[in-house]
Structure 1
């Protein structure tokens, strides 16, 4: 076999790289290439995330199939699915391809208008992606994705309402109608969206991205607010604990408290026990 001609870059099929003499089978195993799925590898300099896994799976797709659902939503402004989440592939019922391990195949009718190429990746269109996200994913995951897609206007709330109305009788229609009710493009992060949905399901009505004003002076914009109770709920991701952000957050909290507002601070750990978190916020609302 000829000696390897160069370091392979991008995403590639292992069998093709060996057949064309770029690598031996031993080199494919021993070099630090990312193994994305069966027979698909990637340059180790590329970030190993769900986006990269989608690109790997795309090399194996039948022509009529598309990356779809939660996986495709990231190309329309939604947060990427997790690294270990299955890559969602949508294909017609007549396609018998089942995909390698780590791929979730959803067989359903695909119209020509449902198919797109975005960033050189075969995906479903924004509206078709929205439908499949709402039909396939848990409610909070679906709303978080749709909030983000609507925020950057790949879809609008009106689009989604119309989609739900026209989809009566289709598979997943009930889940779609339910999810549409909770979509709000004002949300600025997936955790904020998930928390808002949980609060609304608990019978509470927080206002997303509320601007607190005191005596005509802007104080702060908070993630979720209960204006009548002067209670703010703030989700604090990892960046809130880095560098100058810590001091800026403390100054912001001081301004809110000086304006007569109370603040419930929420971390990623709190989201692991949503029932306890909702109870804490409910108690804060009940407190004088």
Structure 2
């Protein structure tokens, strides 16, 4: 039997090929010769197909059929916006049997109860419903990530160039949070903070650019007027020796200490001596109290 006849959704499982009579060595040679792409241990993508988000999800679910796409991976299938798009990130699933600890490379498995009513079919995959997906995000956090997803799901949005209608309601999300699961109380508090009129999330790069412009040279406050001590510091930072208060000439002791030193070292030595010796300016006739 040809390998392409064993493909499901662009994914070939080596276990199916072995059951069809392929020997292990012959199978590996054929996969390498024909240009198949390995995405998980025991799962290969047929030649000519990209390892896109949906195909990688399908490969994991074919290997472990009891897993259900959930959390941020489910938001991508529902076209719900998040702060961190999951198309290239970790794949998230729920194991309702509470037994699986690892789902493979780049796969995060949540062990938690899941009713059949919370599971739907989307693009040929078993996925948590929109209200259950949002409830899981509100329970798990982080808060801002969950709020962005809730606000996106409750309103009309254009995601990936496609304009879609609201995928659920706040009442259904609140109902999904009534399940006695860990983090339910915090999830209900976060749901009250959601503002559907806030609009789509901004791109982080654009926000950073605005912040940089806001604190540019033109936005800096006016320079502080220099004090007398700052004036003394500036005068002492010149690359010459220690300035005398009367005539501005270096003293003999300081000249002997700085002989042979580099200009930078001389400036540091002068500034240090100036700071510890003359940080407070001498009083003049205008500063002496009467």
TM-score (norm. length: structure 2): 0.56
Is it true that 1:130 corresponds to 2:145 in the alignment? no
2:72–2:86 CA contact under 8 A, matched in 1: no
Q: May I ask how many residue pairs the two structures share in their alignment?
A: 202
Is it true that 1:20 corresponds to 2:20 in the alignment? yes
Provide the residue aligned with 1:10 in structure 2.
Answer: 10
Q: Secondary structure at the match of 1:104?
A: strand
Q: What is the CA RMSD across the aligned residues, in angstroms? A: 3.6
Deviation at 1:109, TM superposition (A): 1.6
Deviation at 1:176, TM superposition (A): 1.6
Provide the residue aligned with 1:71 in structure 2.
Answer: 73
Deviation at 1:11, TM superposition (A): 1.7
Structure 1: give runs of 5+ residues left out of the alignment.
Answer: 193-266
Provide the residue aligned with 1:269 in structure 2.
Answer: 205
CA deviation map 1:18-63 (0-9, x unaligned) = 5536872123235443332221122344343332221111102243
Structure 2: give runs of 5+ residues left out of the alignment.
Answer: 156-164, 220-290
CA deviation map 1:207-248 (0-9, x unaligned) = xxxxxxxxxxxxxxxxxxxxxxxxxxxxxxxxxxxxxxxxxx
Give the 5 Å matches for 1:205-220: none
Deviation at 1:107, TM superposition (A): 1.0
Is it true that 1:38 corresponds to 2:48 in the alignment? no
Deviation at 1:94, TM superposition (A): 4.0
The separation in 1 between residues aligned to 2:70 and 2:127, in whole angstroms, is 6
Cα 1:21–1:111 change in 2 (3 A) is: same
Is it true that 1:170 corresponds to 2:106 in the alignment? no
The separation in 1 between residues aligned to 2:146 and 2:38, in whole angstroms, is 29
Rg comparison, structure with higher value = 2
More strand by share: 1
Provide the residue aligned with 2:278 in structure 1.
Answer: none
Give the 5 Å matches for 1:1-288: 10-17=10-17, 19-20=19-20, 24-63=27-66, 65-79=67-81, 81-92=85-96, 94-96=98-100, 98-151=102-155, 152-164=165-177, 166-167=178-179, 170-186=181-197, 189=200, 191-192=201-202, 268-271=204-207, 276=211
CA deviation map 1:76-122 (0-9, x unaligned) = 22248434422111123543463212211111122232222223211
The separation in 2 between residues aligned to 1:28 and 1:272, in whole angstroms, is 46
The separation in 2 between residues aligned to 1:51 and 1:3, in whole angstroms, is 24
The separation in 1 between residues aligned to 2:128 and 2:34, in whole angstroms, is 34
